[in-house]
Structure 1
Amino acid sequence: MTDQAVRCYRHPDRETGIRCSRCERPICPECMINASVGFHCPECVREGRRAAQAAEPRTVAGGSVAGDPRLVTKILIGLNLLVFLLARVEGRPFVTALGLFTPCYVPDSVQCGVAGGPGEWYRLVSSMFLHQEFAHIAFNMLSLWWIGGPLETLLGRARYTALYLIAGLGGSALVVLLAPETLTLGASGAIYGLFGATAVFVKRLRMDMRPVLILLGLNLLFTFTWGGISWEAHIGGLVVGVIIAVAMAYAPRSRRALVQWGTCAAMLLAVAVTVWAGVANISA
């Protein structure tokens, strides 16, 4: 046996009598990793991990399959219900503190609303979890359970959470741009994003689209015919939800994560630009 054969393949200056039990390459004590039988080299361990990851079950969109496929939906419903109860107990001041509006509507008050600066930007998110009326919270939470649960199963937790939150922000951003002085609240923008995403995945999976299109059409009809509904939040959420869902449903497998998360980042940038334009319009 030559001198080369008894030296670690990663550290040629170290002699060794141990070989990887998979590839038979000589390895020194620093390189050998305990295995069920013998020792493995770092490269064989990495290859084994990659093979194990490739064998893990994945959702349609490439996410990890979770033990409870509706966990995020349950958490979102729980948060909405908690904020609703607080709003019922605390009353109007609580709603005013969390609701979405751009400029202050109280004369001579301190700066408030989204135009008040970074300290008020939380309203873009807090308003998504705020409801006042029983009918409002009941309709939105039932919709979230019926639409969100199956969609979470298709996407996986991380992608579903991103879709929900960014769609909700899209609704808030369009309100800031087009209806800045209206106090707006509710999860409808995010839920309309889920409606749009459901339509995209029904198309992607070649299922019958008529039920979801009828449901979406009826909701849009109510949006534009019933009073007191923020169509801006609904349309903003719907558009953002559709765009993100297209990326998640049709991204090429070889670049799936890049396309999906890149699209989410692009939508966040679009939200920021829209909010900036709305605030600038008020300040002008």
Structure 2
Amino acid sequence: MNPQPPASACFRHPDRPTGLACTRCGRAACPECLRPASVGQHCVDCVRQGQADVRPVRTVAGAPAAQRSVPYVTYVLIAINVAIFGITAGQSHSITSNYGSTLFYDWVLAPPRVADGEWIRVLGTGFLHYGPLHLLVNMFALFILGRDCEMVLGRLRFIAVYLASLLGGSAAVMWLAQDTATAGASGAIYGLFGAMAVILLRLRQSPTQVLVLIAINLLISVSLPNVSLWGHLGGLAAGTLATAGILFLPQWLKAGSPQAARTIGWGAVAGLVVGALVLIAAAAAQLS
């Protein structure tokens, strides 16, 4: 009677004899080092290699689809706007007349004060609001638009588009509304309107509803007094161009790889941000 051949040892635990093996690489492995697979069982090394070989699912903007779950950036932006409104209301001891606070006075976009070196105003203005109704309208729009834009663009690109829109609105005010005091997130939100229209075009869906909303809001901007039309238009233009730079410019320039497409997209947004800052600086120099 022939003796049975000795059992092979696990490739990770040489002191453990085993009659099992990985159906992918064929190496002997103990039960602790094996994982169930659709066909047979794979060792932990093959499972790890298989996970590394799977390309992550990405959106049309190149953002990981895993970031589509919760729009954290949108919620954080809303929280910051609400918190700053609370500070201005507390300082002025009034919810409806919160624009009498020192923070509001220091951050409201007054072009002559920017020319005096108070550059915080070109960003701070996007987080101030004239009363609770102004805040509520803008935060509702940010909630609706921000979630969808953030899901498609990804968190970092969404922040970049929002920043470009805010600065675009400030640049337009610095040049075309130099005798006004402008405040509100409207410029950045108009940028998100433009971003959503571009996203729908990229997804080959009709942007008609968004374009109608943009037209209605621009009509309101023209009709109502004390509304910053130029801030809205500047934000709309910047947000539209920034998102087009991310979603369409890589195709137009025939980017040869996903990495090249991401580089082109980021370069387009960076160029818009720098361009807005240059325009703001030129307007400030002219005023001074």
TM-score normalised to structure 2 length: 0.75
Structure 1, residues 129-154: CA drift from partner, whole Å, max 9, x if none?
11121111011000001111111101
- Structure of larger gyration radius: 2
Structure 1, residues 35-56: CA drift from partner, whole Å, max 9, x if none?
9559xxxxxx9xx69x838611
Distance 1:37 1:262, change over 3 A: closer
Equivalent position of 1:268 in the other structure: 273
Equivalent position of 1:99 in the other structure: 108
RMSD between aligned residues: 2.1
CA distance in 2, matches of 1:223, 1:59: 34
Equivalent position of 2:115 in the other structure: 115
Gaps of 5+ in 1: 1-21, 23-34, 39-44, 104-112
Equivalent position of 1:258 in the other structure: 263
Q: Does the 8 A contact of 1:100 with 1:172 survive in 2?
A: yes
SS at match of 1:66: helix
Task: Between 242-251 and 152-161, report the one with greater CA deviation.
Answer: 242-251
Matches within 5 A, 1:215-226: 215-226=213-224
Equivalent position of 1:177 in the other structure: 175
CA distance in 2, matches of 1:53, 1:74: 34
Counterpart residue identity of residue 275, structure 2: A
Equivalent position of 2:7 in the other structure: none
From 135, 144, 152, give the equivalent of 2:133: 135
Counterpart residue identity of residue 216, structure 2: L
CA distance in 2, matches of 1:192, 1:126: 17
Equivalent position of 2:52 in the other structure: 52
From 137, 149, 152, give the equivalent of 1:151: 149
Matches within 5 A, 1:188-203: 188-203=186-201
Q: Does the 8 A contact of 2:166 with 2:185 survive in 1?
A: yes
CA distance in 1, matches of 2:158, 2:227: 25
Distance 1:273 1:37, change over 3 A: closer
Matches within 5 A, 1:62-77: 62-64=62-64, 65-66=66-67, 68-77=69-78
Q: When the two structures are aligned, how many residues end up with a matched partner?
A: 230
Equivalent position of 1:83 in the other structure: 84
Equivalent position of 2:16 in the other structure: none
From 242, 247, 255, give the equivalent of 1:249: 247
Task: Between 94-103 and 184-193, report the one with greater CA deviation.
Answer: 94-103
Distance 1:53 1:63, change over 3 A: farther
User: Structure 1 runs of 4+ off > 6 angstroms?
Assistant: none
Q: Does the 8 A contact of 1:87 with 1:132 survive in 2?
A: no
Gaps of 5+ in 2: 1-24, 26-42, 93-99
Equivalent position of 1:27 in the other structure: none
Structure 1, residues 86-137: CA drift from partner, whole Å, max 9, x if none?
111112122101111122xxxxxxxxx21122xx211111110111211110
CA distance in 2, matches of 1:153, 1:243: 19
Distance 1:53 1:277, change over 3 A: farther
Q: Does the 8 A contact of 2:149 with 2:196 survive in 1?
A: yes
CA distance in 2, matches of 1:216, 1:37: 54
Distance 1:53 1:77, change over 3 A: farther
Distance 1:160 1:37, change over 3 A: closer
Counterpart residue identity of residue 229, structure 1: V
Equivalent position of 1:161 in the other structure: 159
Q: Does the 8 A contact of 1:200 with 1:242 survive in 2?
A: yes
SS at match of 1:183: coil
Q: Does the 8 A contact of 2:68 with 2:152 survive in 1?
A: no
CA distance in 2, matches of 1:69, 1:259: 27
SS at match of 2:57: coil
Give identity over the alignment, percent. 36
Structure 1, residues 164-217: CA drift from partner, whole Å, max 9, x if none?
011101101111112223111100000000000111111111212221111111
Distance 1:52 1:247, change over 3 A: farther
Distance 1:67 1:225, change over 3 A: closer
Q: Does the 8 A contact of 1:87 with 1:131 survive in 2?
A: no
1:214 aligns with 2:212: yes
Counterpart residue identity of residue 185, structure 2: A
